[in-house]
Amino acid sequence: MSSPDELARDTPPPYKRRRTGDTPSPRSSSPDILAGDPDDFRQPPRRVSQRGGGLSQSPTKAQYLNGFLRSQSVSRAPSESVPRSRSASSSGSRTRSQSPAHSTPSPAATPPSRQRSRSPTSTNQSRSNSFSPEPQQQLTPPRELPKPNYKARLVLHGHTKAVSQVRISPNGRFIASASADATVKIWDAATGAHMDTLVGHMAGVSCVAWTPDSNTLASGSDDKAIRLWDRVTGRPKTTARKAGQEMAPLRGHHNYIHCLAFSPKGNILASGSYDEAVFLWDVRAGRLMRSLPAHSDPVSGIDFCRDGTLVVSCSTDGLIRVWDTSTGQCLRTLVHEDNPAVTNVCFSPNGRFVLAFNLDNCIRLWDYVSGSVKKTYQGHCNKSFAIGGCFGVLDGEAFIASASEDGDVLLWDVKSKEVLQRVHGHEGVCFWVDVHGETMVTAGQDGSVKVYRHVRHSGELNGNGTKTESKAPGQGMLQGELPIRQDDVKVEDVMSI
Amino acid sequence: MNLLLSDDYLLQDYPESMTSTIRSGHATMLRFNRTGDYLASGRVDGTVVVWDLETMGVALKMRGHNKSITFLSWSRCGRYLLSTCQGWKAILWDLQTGHRHREVRFRAPAYMAELHPWNHNLFVASLFEEQPLLVDISEPVDVKRVLPSAPKRPNADSDIALKEKQAKEDAKQMTTSAIWTATGDHIIAGTSKGKLNIIDAKTLEIIYSEKICTGVITTMRITSSGRDLLVNSQDRIIRTFRIPNLAVPDLDPDTIQLPLEHKFQDVVNKLSWNHVTFSATGEYVAASTYNNHELYVWERNHGSLVCMLKDPKEEQGVIEWHPSRPLLAACGLETGRIYIWSVISPQKWSALAPDFAEVEENVEYMEREDEFDIYAQEEIHRRRLDAEDEDVDVLTADPTKDGEDLANFRMPILFNLGESDSEDEFVAVSTGTMRRRSPGESQADLSAGAESAAPVRKKAGARGGKGKKK
C-alpha cells in the first residue's frame, strides 16, 4: 500500500535538481529525516528527507534529535505541551461521558493503521492519479476531479521542540512557525531557506499571525506577552517615539496566550488566552482596545471574518461566540448539543460559515446565522490537542484541511464531506496545517515543519492547465454525486499499478 | 457582515448620545471616506490626520500645509485625499505612502476644493475673492481653468445701462462653495450673493442659475444618491433642494428646475448655523449652531426637528455624518476636539445563551412530537450526519458590495505614530522640562515632518522589494 505513495513522491523531478545544488552532503543529513518520519519515508522517500535536511539550516543533527526526543517524552512541561494537554484534560471529562456515541461512527477513533486501510478510497485515488498518468488519462478524462494532490517537498528542521503553529504569509512567500522552544522562525516558502529566528519570548510560543501585508508578525507566548515582529529586519517592531526603540510587547493577559488573529485591514489584533478573555488590540498604538469577557475556559481559537466586522472565538467550554468588532458585543453563541470542547475555529473564505474543531474527532461547519451545523467532517483523530486547520482553495474548489493527532493531514471536500487526500505529515502529533493555494505546510510535535506542494496531474501539466481549471467547479459537483463510480475508477488504477 | 446577525439595533438611525471624543491637535475640518472606516481631520497647524474609526486611533499624519486646513476631500477609492489650507495651496495626498502626490498653488486662500467623484486628478476649487477653478492634475503641469461666477442671464438685447449695471453686480459675485454632482458631469456652485449656479463641467458654462437666498452660501452638500442638495447660508436658514436629473441626453438648460423642499431654521432663537450635513441616506439633516452648544437633527420627510445633541460644553464647528452608520462627528471650535455621537446598541442577552430566546410576551410552548423520545447516541449522530445534505457555499461572497470593498485600497499600518498628541503641543526644552508650543512654531515642523515620514518610505520600499535574507 505504501509503494504507490513512495513512487508518487519521487515523481516531481525538478525539485530534486534544485535541491542538490544546496545540499552539501545528502547522506549525512539523512538521520534527521529518519528521526522525523521513520515509517512512511523509509526507502525511496529518503530523497525527500535529504532535500529537507540539506535545505534546512538546522543547528546540528544531535541537537535536533535531542530536541525531538525531549519534546516527545520528557519535557511536556515547557510551554507548548502544557497548555495543550491541559485543554485535553478539561475536555476529557466531557467527552468521556459521550464517548461511546462518538467512537463508533468516527473512524478516527481507531488506531492509525486500521484507519488507513479503512479509508483507502480517497488516499489511493489521489496518489494513483499522479503516479500512473497515462492509463488513467484514458480512463477518466471526463470525470477527472480537481482533487488536491499535495506532495511533501521540504522538511524544515531547526526548532528544538515541538512546533505549535505554522502559518503562510498572505502573499504566500513566507512561512512562520512558532515553537515550544520559545522562538518563531521565518522560512522562505519557495526554497525552504531559513530566513530568521525571532528570539525574545521567555516561554514557548503557541501562536503566530501575519498582518495582511505580510510585513509584520505577531506571536503569542506562554510568557503572557504578545510580540510584534518586523519580518524584514527580523527584529521587534520599532516605534518612532524614540528612534530605534523597540515596541514594548503587548501585555495584559493574565495567562498563556493561545491564539491570535489580525483583522483583514491589519489594524486590530485579536488574542485569546488561558485567562478566558479575548482582547482586541489597536496594533498601531500597541494599546488594549477592548477586552471581551468571552468564555469560562481557556480561549482556544480566534478568527476575523473577511470584512473585519466579526470576530469568532471558541473555548474548551464548548462554546463558539461571534462578536461584533466595533461594539464588542456578543452577537451569537453556537453550541453543539453534545457540548464537545472546541479547540480551534475559523471563518470560511466568504465569511458566512464558521469551521470549528471539536475534541470529539469531528470538525463542524456552522452556519452562524441560523445557528446550525451544516457539515461534520470526520476521519481524523482529535481527542486531546488543540490542533488546527483551515480552508484551502484549489481551482476554485474549496476544501478543508486539518491536522490529525496520528501525524497525518486530511483534506475534505466541503460539500460531500469526503476525504480527498490523506497525507502523512509527522511522527507524533501534527499540530497545525496551513494552506495557501498550492502550498501546504504542517507543524509537528517532532519539531519539524513540512512544506507540501500541490502536484497537478501530468495531463494538466502538459499544457491544458487552464482548461481544467475552468472545468473544475462542475466536476466538483459531479464528484459529490457519484462517489461510487469514483471508487471504481480508483480501484482500477490501483490494479493497473 | 455583522449586519447578518444584528438587525434590531438599526432601528434608530440617528445618533442619540456622545460615545467618544478623540483629539489630535486642534481640528478644524472633518471628512469621512466613502466607506466610512477612516475620518480625516485637518488641524489649525496644517497637519492632516487620518483616524481609523475601528480603533479610534490615528492611522496617519501628514504634514505639508502650514496654515489652518479649510477643506478635505477623499477620492472614491480612498487612496487619495485632497486638502486645502488658508495658505493658498491644495495638496493631494497619497495615503499609500503618506506623502504628497501633487501640490497646487493658487493666487488666494481656498475655501474648499472638492475632488471629482470618479477622477482623483480633477478637482474644483473655490477661492477667496477669486473666481473658482477647475484644476486638472493628470499632467505633470496642472491645468487650471476658470469657472464663471456671474449668473446666467436671459439673452441680452437690453440697453447698455442695464448691461453695465449687471456687469458691476457680476463682478461682486464670488463663488464661495462649489461641489460636484454625483455623476461628475456638473458643478453646483453657490455665490456670495446667494445665487446658485449649475456649471457644465465640459463646456464650463453656467447652464442654470437661480437666486435661492439673500446671504452668502457657506456650505453645500449633496446626498450620496446625488438627488438632494443641502445649502447653508448666512441668512440663518438651511434649505434642501431636489436636484433635477442632469444626465438626460438632450438636456435643455431652460427647463431645469431646482425645487425647494424644506427650510430649516430656529425661528425662536434666530440661530445661525455653522455647518450642516446630510445623514447617510439623506433622511436627516444635522447642523451645528453658532454661539451655541447644540447640534440640531431634523428629519427630512416631514421637516421636523428630531433631536438636539448637547453633550459637550463647547460650540461645534464642522460636523460630518458617517456614510453608512448613525454616527456624527463634530469638532469643537475652542479645543479642537473631535466629538463622536452614535447609538449604543444594547447587548442581546439571548445571544450569549443559544438555548434561550427573547420573547415579547409569554408564549405557550408547543412540544415537538419526538422531543423527548430517547434514541441511542449512535442513532442520533447518524441522523445528524445524514441530515447534513445541504449544499454549502463557502467561497462566494455576499454580492451586495463586498467585492467592491475588497478591491479597494488598503491603508498601510504604521507603527511609528505617537499614540498621544503631546508631541504636537509640547516641546522638550531640556531634560524634564517641557513648554507649550507657540502657535506659529508649527511651521518649523515641516522638516520634522519629513523626518518622521522617512521610516514610512522605507517600509513602502521594503514591500515592493524582494524579501531580504538575513
Q: pLDDT, tens digit, for every residue of A162-181?
A: 999 999 999 999 999 999 99
Task: Tell me how many domains chain A contains.
Answer: 2
Average pLDDT over residues A219-241: 85
Output the nine-digit C-alpha cell for A33. 529525516
> What percent helix, strand, coil does chain A show, rounded to 5?
30, 35, 35
Mean pLDDT in chain B?
A: 82
State the number of CA atoms in the 13 A half-sphere of A433 facing the CB. 32
- A412-426 pLDDT, tens digit each: 999 889 999 999 989
Contact B59 A228 (CB under 8 A): no
Q: How many residues does chain B have?
A: 470
| Helix residue ranges, H only, A186-268 | none
- Cβ neighbourhood burial of A458 (10 Å; 0-12, 13-18, 19+): middle
Average pLDDT over residues B362-385: 84
Residues B92 and B152 in one domain: yes
Q: Is residue B82 part of a domain?
A: yes
Higher pLDDT, B386 or A275: A275
Residue A170's nearest CA partner among A439, A456, A396, A357 is A439
Residues A67 and A162 in one domain: no
pLDDT exceeds 70 at position A470: no
Q: How many CB atoms lie within 10 A of CB A31?
A: 15
Q: Is A328 on the interface with B (CB under 8 A)?
A: no
Average pLDDT over residues B430-438: 59
Residues B333 and B421 in one domain: no
A267 chain-B contacts, CB cut-off 8 A? 52, 54-55, 57, 59, 413
Binning pLDDT at 50, 70 and 90, where does residue B44 land?
Answer: very high
Q: Is A334 on the interface with B (CB under 8 A)?
A: yes
Q: Is residue A472 part of a domain?
A: no
Residues B233 and B295 in one domain: yes
Binning pLDDT at 50, 70 and 90, where does residue A311 land?
Answer: very high
Is the distance from CB of A410 to CB of A380 less than 8 angstroms?
yes
Residues A316 and A406 in one domain: yes
Binning pLDDT at 50, 70 and 90, where does residue A195 land?
Answer: very high
Q: Is residue B67 part of a domain?
A: yes
Task: Tell me how many domains chain B contains.
Answer: 3
Q: Is B468 on the interface with A (CB under 8 A)?
A: yes
Residues B122 and B253 in one domain: yes
Q: Which DSSP string corresponds to A93-138?
A: HHHHHHHHHHHTT-GGGS-HHHHHHHSHHHHHHHHHHHH-HHHHHH
Q: Is residue B397 part of a domain?
A: no
Residue B29's nearest CA partner among B75, B76, B86, B79 is B86
Q: Which structural domain range is residue A20 located in?
A: 2-72
Chain position carrying cell 513602502: B460
How much is the pLDDT for A86? 39
Please identify among residues 388-447 of chain B the ones whose CB lies closer than 8 Å to any CB of chain A: 388, 390-398, 402, 405-406, 410-419, 423
Lowest mean pLDDT among A87-101, B61-75, B243-257: A87-101
Q: What is the C-alpha separation between A55 and A190, in angstroms, rounded?
A: 11
Residues A332 and A210 in one domain: yes
Residue B345: what residue type?
S
Residues B80 and B188 in one domain: yes
Q: Is residue B253 part of a domain?
A: yes
Binning pLDDT at 50, 70 and 90, where does residue A378 land?
Answer: very high
How much is the pLDDT for B160? 82
Residues B433 and B308 in one domain: no
Q: Is residue B393 part of a domain?
A: no
Q: Is A481 on the interface with B (CB under 8 A)?
A: no
How much is the pLDDT for B367? 86
Whole-structure pTM value: 0.74
Average pLDDT over residues A297-314: 93
Q: Is residue A481 part of a domain?
A: no
Output the nine-digit C-alpha cell for A175. 512561512
Output the nine-digit C-alpha cell for B314. 463647547
Q: Is B352 on the interface with A (CB under 8 A)?
A: yes
Q: Is A232 on the interface with B (CB under 8 A)?
A: yes
Residues B104 and B195 in one domain: yes
Q: Is residue B1 part of a domain?
A: no
pLDDT exceeds 90 at position A247: no
Closest chain B CA to residue A310: B2
Q: What is the C-alpha separation between A23 and A40, in angstroms, rounded?
A: 22
How much is the pLDDT for B432? 62
Q: Tell me which of B274, B308, B342 is where a domain ends.
A: B342
Interface mutation target, options A187, A284, A330, A367, chain B, most CBs of B under 10 Å: A284
Binning pLDDT at 50, 70 and 90, where does residue B389 land?
Answer: confident
Residues B145 and B275 in one domain: yes
Q: How far is B323 from chain A (nearest CA, A)?
A: 16
Q: Is residue A86 part of a domain?
A: no
Lowest mean pLDDT among A386-390, A460-464, B249-253, B286-290: A460-464
Residues A294 and A431 in one domain: yes
Contact B52 A213 (CB under 8 A): no
How much is the pLDDT for A84? 44
Chain position carrying cell 447660508: B233
Q: Which DSSP string corresponds to A128-190?
A: HHHH-HHHHHHHSGGG------EEEEEEE---SS-EEEEEE-TTSSEEEEEETTSEEEEEETT
Residue B421's nearest CA partner among B337, B333, B341, B312 is B337
pLDDT exceeds 70 at position B93: yes
Output the nine-digit C-alpha cell for A298. 481557556
B/e letters for B311-337, b = 16+ CB within 10 Å, e = fewer, are ebebbbbbbbbbbebbbbbbbbbeebb
Give the whole-number percent of chain B exceeding pLDDT 70. Answer: 83
Q: Is A89 on the interface with B (CB under 8 A)?
A: no
ipTM of the complex: 0.81
Q: Which structural domain range is residue B15 located in?
A: 10-157+169-342
Output the nine-digit C-alpha cell for B294. 447644540
Give the whole-number percent of chain A exceeding pLDDT 90. Answer: 49
Q: Tell me which of B309, B325, B342 is where a domain ends.
A: B342
Average pLDDT over residues A446-462: 78
Average pLDDT over residues A364-391: 92
Residues B235 and B332 in one domain: yes
Mean pLDDT in chain A?
A: 71
Q: Is residue A408 part of a domain?
A: yes
- A22-48 pLDDT, tens digit each: 333 333 333 333 333 333 333 332 222
How much is the pLDDT for B10? 58
- What DSSP designation does B439 have? G
Nearest by CB to B414, which of A231, A284, A334?
A284
How much is the pLDDT for A263? 94
Residue A224's nearest CA partner among A273, A286, A179 is A273
Q: Is B12 on the interface with A (CB under 8 A)?
A: no
Instruction: Compute, in degrees rounded to 10, the torsion defined by CA atoms A229, A233, A238, A244.
Output: 150
- B5-14 pLDDT, tens digit each: 766 555 678 8
Residues A46 and A181 in one domain: no
Q: What is the C-alpha separation between B18 and B310, in angstroms, rounded?
A: 9
Q: What is the C-alpha separation between B404 and B442, in angstroms, rounded?
A: 39
A285 chain-B contacts, CB cut-off 8 A? 55, 57-58, 417, 419
Chain position carrying cell 433631536: B307
Compute φ and ψ for B230, nearest 5 degrees: -120, 130
Q: Is B57 on the interface with A (CB under 8 A)?
A: yes
All residues at 6 or more sequence positions from A366 whose CB lies less than 8 Å from its CB, including other chains: A320, A334, A353, A354, A355, A356, A372, A373, A374
Q: What is the C-alpha separation between A308 and A326, in angstroms, rounded?
A: 9
pLDDT exceeds 50 at position B459: no
Is the distance from CB of A367 to CB of A353 less than 8 angstroms?
yes
Residues B321 and B443 in one domain: no
Is the distance from CB of B159 to CB of B175 less than 8 angstroms?
no
Residues B338 and B370 in one domain: no
Higher pLDDT, A440 or A55: A440
Residues A46 and A150 in one domain: no
Q: What is the C-alpha separation between A146 and A126, in angstroms, rounded?
A: 10
Higher pLDDT, B118 or A68: B118
Partners of residue A291 on adjacent β-strands: A279
Q: Any idea what the CATH number is for the domain that residue A414 is in?
A: 2.130.10.10
How much is the pLDDT for B401? 52
Q: Tell me which of A72, A93, A110 is where a domain ends.
A: A72
Q: Any idea what the CATH number is for the domain that residue B130 is in?
A: 2.130.10.10
Is the distance from CB of A50 to CB of A33 less than 8 angstroms?
yes
Residues B289 and B378 in one domain: no
Q: Is residue A420 part of a domain?
A: yes
Average pLDDT over residues A89-108: 38
Binning pLDDT at 50, 70 and 90, where does residue B312 land?
Answer: confident
Residues A230 and A326 in one domain: yes
Q: Is A306 on the interface with B (CB under 8 A)?
A: yes
How much is the pLDDT for B433? 63
Average pLDDT over residues A397-404: 92
A287 chain-B contacts, CB cut-off 8 A? 57, 419
Q: Is residue B5 part of a domain?
A: no
Q: Which DSSP string corresponds to A251-267?
A: E--SS-EEEEEE-TTSS
Angle at alpha carbon of residue A301, lines to A305 and A84, rounded to 5°: 165
How much is the pLDDT for A240? 53
Q: Is residue A347 part of a domain?
A: yes
Contact B59 A284 (CB under 8 A): yes
| Helix residue ranges, H only, B87-244 | 160-172
Average pLDDT over residues B87-96: 92
Is the distance from CB of A419 to CB of A399 less than 8 angstroms?
no
Give the whole-number percent of chain A exceeding pLDDT 70. Answer: 61
Higher pLDDT, A241 or B153: B153
How much is the pLDDT for B250? 79
Q: Is residue B263 part of a domain?
A: yes
Residue A416's nearest CA partner among A345, A336, A483 is A483
Average pLDDT over residues B218-232: 92
Please identify among residues 133-152 of chain A the ones whose CB lies closer than 8 Å to any CB of chain B: none
Helices (H) and strands (E) counted in chain A, each on its own, are 12, 28
Q: What is the C-alpha separation between B101 and B120, in angstroms, rounded?
A: 11
Lowest mean pLDDT among A95-104, A221-230, B303-312: A95-104
pLDDT exceeds 60 at position B86: yes
Q: What is the C-alpha separation between B292 and B444, in angstroms, rounded?
A: 35
How much is the pLDDT for A458? 61
